[in-house]
């Protein structure tokens, strides 16, 4: 029989491993709108553990993902109507520790799940069962697919028009989403060029199939593209913004497509954008019959489940590398506990990560079973 927990009557209830779930928890809360994450966000030590409603799961978070857009969210750029205080963090992987009656039709206590929902930077998060993704086990690699993998998969499928022999430029290629753009473009038999900031990242990119890596700290990206790809590139997967955007735009081939999935160079600026030299944009696009398309995952949620299913299948069959960076090489070591989310965000903006940055949330479970 499937265990059913209706915990609405009780503040203290048992974890599936036999220890009591506390009545309070730690979580991160945006208390002030600012593009400075440390200024915007406060670690609350004694927030009440939320209770799942009838169709909900209570998830004990074991791994949470860091996204470039965490700063946009804490700066209030996504939804001007949301006023502090509000919860932050977009994605998590963990165990179901309690659930509502309806939710128990599809889920059991102890089940591993992943989810995308605001409020994951917390020890426990209530997730509507409809939004959860059942997993075979709690592994940080699954987290890489939830936002980063899905963004890449859907944007390239819907907007990339990839086909054999096309030249694809991926900026910030060794990052959380760049790693998937490289691999999925290779699967489509494209020639892939990736920009990165170190030889170590270049080595990683080669290991996942990148044909040409450009270390922009030691090479001039513009010169390399002009010399090696005089006809231009067919598709650019662009997440940097500022000067890199201009450079990518200028390197487009005839009928080329530039997909904008972010502009990390501007996220920590008060205005959020670094200026681009776009005044010649109409002429540049017309001259090449080129196009620029923006991509925001929330507008493509109808494609999400299918994309995730495909990505999970590829990962489980060994066809997809899901690189996770726990910050082992960062000055203060591995990202463990909610306190280290601040360091993890800094680490990302210093451009140090290879793959998706993930923070581990350890839980001491004293089993009484």
134: its two tokens: 């059942």
Is the pLDDT reported for residue 368 higher than 80? Answer: no
pLDDT digits (tens, 9 = 90+) for 63-99: 999 999 899 999 998 888 889 999 999 999 999 998 8
Instruction: State the pLDDT at residue 278.
Output: 73
- On the CB side of 20, CA atoms within 13 Å amount to 7
Decide: helix, strand or coil at residue 230.
coil
Instruction: Give the residue carrying structure tokens 């039709």.
Output: 105
Who wins on pLDDT, 271 or 207? 207
The structural architecture, per CATH, of the domain 146-299 is 3-Layer(aba) Sandwich (3.40)
Instruction: State the pLDDT at residue 23.
Output: 86
Give the DSSP letter string of 105-139: GT--TT-EEEEE-S--SBSEEEEEGGG-EE-SS--
Is the pLDDT reported for residue 271 higher than 70? Answer: yes
Domains of the chain by residue range: 11-138+323-360, 146-299
pLDDT digits (tens, 9 = 90+) for 334-353: 999 999 999 999 999 999 99
CA–CA separation, 240 and 54 (whole Å): 42
CATH topology for the 11-138+323-360 domain = Quinone Oxidoreductase; Chain A, domain 1 (3.90.180)
Is the pLDDT reported for residue 290 higher than 70? Answer: yes
What contacts 151, CB < 8 A, 6 or more positions away? 177, 261, 295, 297
Instruction: State the pLDDT at residue 228.
Output: 98
Is the pLDDT reported for residue 255 higher than 90? Answer: yes
Total-model pTM:
0.91
CA 353 vs. chain centroid, Å, equals 13
Q: Tell me which residue of 175, 157, 181 sits closest to 300, measured CA to CA.
A: 157
CA–CA separation, 316 and 219 (whole Å): 36
- On the CB side of 231, CA atoms within 13 Å amount to 7
274: its two tokens: 């670094």
Instruction: Give the residue carrying structure tokens 């750029």.
Output: 77
Instruction: State the pLDDT at residue 364.
Output: 64
pLDDT digits (tens, 9 = 90+) for 104-142: 889 999 999 999 999 999 999 999 999 999 999 999 999
């Amino acid at each position: 029989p499937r265990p059913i927990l209706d915990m609405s009557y009780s503040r203290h209830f048992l974890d599936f491993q036999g220890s009591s779930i506390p009545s309070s928890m730690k979580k991160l809360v945006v208390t002030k709108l600012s593009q400075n994450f440390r200024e915007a966000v406060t670690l609350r030590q004694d927030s009440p553990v939320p209770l799942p409603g009838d169709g909900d799961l209570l998830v004990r978070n074991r791994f949470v993902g860091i996204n470039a857009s965490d700063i946009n969210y804490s700066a209030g750029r996504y939804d001007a109507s949301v006023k502090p205080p509000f919860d932050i963090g977009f994605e998590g992987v963990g165990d179901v520790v309690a659930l509502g009656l309806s939710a128990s039709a599809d889920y059991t206590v102890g089940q591993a799940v992943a989810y995308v929902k605001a409020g994951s930077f917390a020890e426990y998060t209530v997730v509507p069962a409809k939004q959860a993704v059942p997993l075979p086990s709690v592994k940080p690699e699954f987290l890489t697919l939830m936002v980063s993998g899905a963004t890449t998969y859907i944007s390239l499928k819907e907007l990339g028009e990839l086909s054999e022999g096309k030249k694809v430029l991926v900026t910030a290629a060794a990052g959380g989403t760049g790693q998937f753009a490289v691999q999925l473009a290779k699967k489509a038999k494209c020639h892939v060029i990736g920009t990165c900031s170190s030889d170590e990242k270049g080595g990683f990119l080669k290991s996942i199939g990148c044909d040409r890596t450009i270390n922009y700290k030691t090479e001039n990206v513009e010169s390399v593209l002009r010399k090696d790809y005089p006809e231009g590139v067919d598709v650019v997967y662009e997440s940097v913004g500022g000067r890199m955007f201009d450079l990518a735009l200028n390197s487009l081939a005839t009928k080329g497509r530039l997909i904008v999935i972010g502009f990390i160079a501007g996220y920590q600026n008060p205005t959020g954008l670094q200026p681009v030299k776009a005044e010649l944009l109409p002429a540049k696009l017309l001259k090449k019959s080129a196009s620029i398309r923006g991509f925001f995952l929330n507008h493509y949620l109808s494609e999400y489940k299918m994309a995730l299913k495909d990505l999970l299948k590829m990962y489980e069959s060994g066809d997809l590398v899901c690189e996770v960076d726990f910050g082992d090489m960062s000055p203060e070591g591995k990202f463990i506990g909610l306190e280290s989310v601040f360091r993890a965000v800094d680490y990302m903006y210093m451009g140090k990560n290879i793959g998706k940055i993930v923070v581990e949330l350890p839980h001491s479970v004293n089993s009484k079973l």
